[in-house]
């Protein structure tokens, strides 16, 4: 899968995604990342890409010309262009799964007061927010999305079940995890996990996922994929 990021800070994005699981997937060529510096398409001798807002007001606005030229340098022309904006649809795991089916994605990172509205009308297919707060720029939001989407691409994680049991899969939070030692300063690992009985372990994990979701994120249960056994467990 190829990610292209239109940004004023390409080094920031390259460095942010160069480590750990995504960094390894980039090294192995399972994922591809290309960062295009919008400033390279400024088209003026001061490399200026922003200007004062028409109508007055604080801050600067990114001009449409450099962004359009940067976008037009992408070949072949992309199908999906995501503009990171606090005004967009809130990013979640369902959106990550859906976007992970694309072959390529372009992310447009705004700065200052954002981008000229005409560029949104012209090239953007999806406006996405990573939450109800204001960042200084879209780079970190793009990195959050690329990390979450990238790890769902086949071959990026060593084992796809790593994400199949994770929080938000089937609408539930994940069960608690433990590793060695079995006893840590008086705290014991639940006995069922040491039993080797896979049926009992699976049932315990499912119940723990239900309990946690009920306690921490009851809102998720409304849309969760529950069996009749799950519902009976919750009722009791
Ligand atoms: N003036 C804009 C507004 O009120 O909607 C906010 C501009 S913000 C300071 C600058 C840039 O940061 C935005 O163009 C966007 O690319 C990015 N950004 C800020 N908050 C974000 C969020 N919650 N999710 C995604 N991108 C965000």
Q: What is the mean pLDDT of the chain?
A: 96
Q: Which atom of ligand 1 is nearest to the CA of 128?
A: 25
In testing the pocket of ligand 1, which one of 95, 108, 138 has its CB within 8 Å of the most ligand atoms?
Answer: 138
Strands 104-109 and 81-90: parallel
138 is in an annotated binding site: no
By CB atoms closer than 10 A (0-12, 13-18, 19+), residue 5 is buried
Q: CATH assignment of 166-235?
A: 1.10.1270.20
Q: What pLDDT, on a 0 to 100 scale, did the predictor assign at position 165?
A: 77
Q: What pLDDT, on a 0 to 100 scale, did the predictor assign at position 169?
A: 85
Q: What pLDDT, on a 0 to 100 scale, did the predictor assign at position 9?
A: 98
* Confidence grade of residue 92 (pLDDT, cut at 50, 70, 90): very high
Q: What pLDDT, on a 0 to 100 scale, did the predictor assign at position 208?
A: 98
Could you identify the residue written with the tokens 């999906």? Answer: 80
Establish whether the linkage from the previous residue to 165 is cis, with ω within 30° of 0: no
Q: What pLDDT, on a 0 to 100 scale, did the predictor assign at position 215?
A: 97
Ligand 1 binding site (Cβ under 6 Å of any ligand atom)? 84-87, 109-111, 113-114, 129-131, 133-138, 141
6 CB-near residues (< 8 Å, 6+ apart): 36, 38, 67, 70, 71, 106, 107, 108, 109
Domain boundaries, the chain: 2-150, 166-235
119 is in an annotated binding site: no
pLDDT tens by residue, 139-183: 999 999 999 999 999 999 987 667 777 889 889 999 999 999 999
pLDDT tens by residue, 6-41: 999 999 999 999 999 999 999 999 999 999 999 999
- Is residue 20 within 8 A of residue 157, CB to CB? The reply is no
* Average of per-residue pLDDT across 173-201: 98
CATH of the domain spanning 2-150, picked from 3.30.70.100, 1.25.40.10, 3.60.20.30, 3.40.1280.10? 3.40.1280.10
152 is in an annotated binding site: no
pLDDT tens by residue, 215-232: 999 999 999 999 999 999
Torsion of CA 96, 228, 162, 102, to 10 degrees: -30
Which residue has the least CA distance to atom 22 on ligand 1? 86
């Amino acid at each position: 899968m190829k990610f292209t990021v239109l940004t004023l800070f390409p080094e920031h994005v390259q460095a942010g995604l160069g480590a750990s699981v995504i960094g390894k997937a980039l090294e192995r060529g399972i994922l591809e990342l290309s960062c295009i510096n919008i400033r390279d398409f400024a088209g003026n001798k001061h490399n200026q890409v922003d200007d004062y807002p028409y109508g007055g007001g604080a801050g600067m606005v990114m001009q449409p010309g450099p962004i359009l030229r940067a976008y037009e340098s992408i070949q072949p022309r992309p199908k999906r262009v995501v503009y990171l904006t606090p005004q967009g649809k809130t990013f979640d795991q369902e959106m990550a799964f859906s976007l992970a089916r694309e072959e390529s994605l372009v992310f447009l990172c705004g700065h200052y007061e954002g981008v000229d509205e005409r560029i949104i009308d012209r090239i953007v297919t999806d406006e996405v927010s990573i939450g109800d707060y204001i960042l200084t720029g879209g780079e970190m939001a793009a990195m959050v999305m690329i990390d979450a989407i990238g790890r769902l691409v086949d071959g990026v994680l060593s084992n796809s079940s790593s994400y199949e049991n994770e929080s938000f899969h089937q609408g539930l939070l994940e069960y608690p995890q433990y590793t060695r030692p079995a006893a840590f300063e008086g705290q014991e690992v639940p006995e069922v996990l040491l039993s080797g009985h896979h049926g009992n372990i699976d049932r315990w994990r499912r119940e723990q996922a239900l309990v946690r979701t009920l306690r921490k994120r009851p809102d998720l249960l409304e849309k969760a994929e529950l069996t009749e056994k799950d519902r009976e467990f919750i009722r009791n």
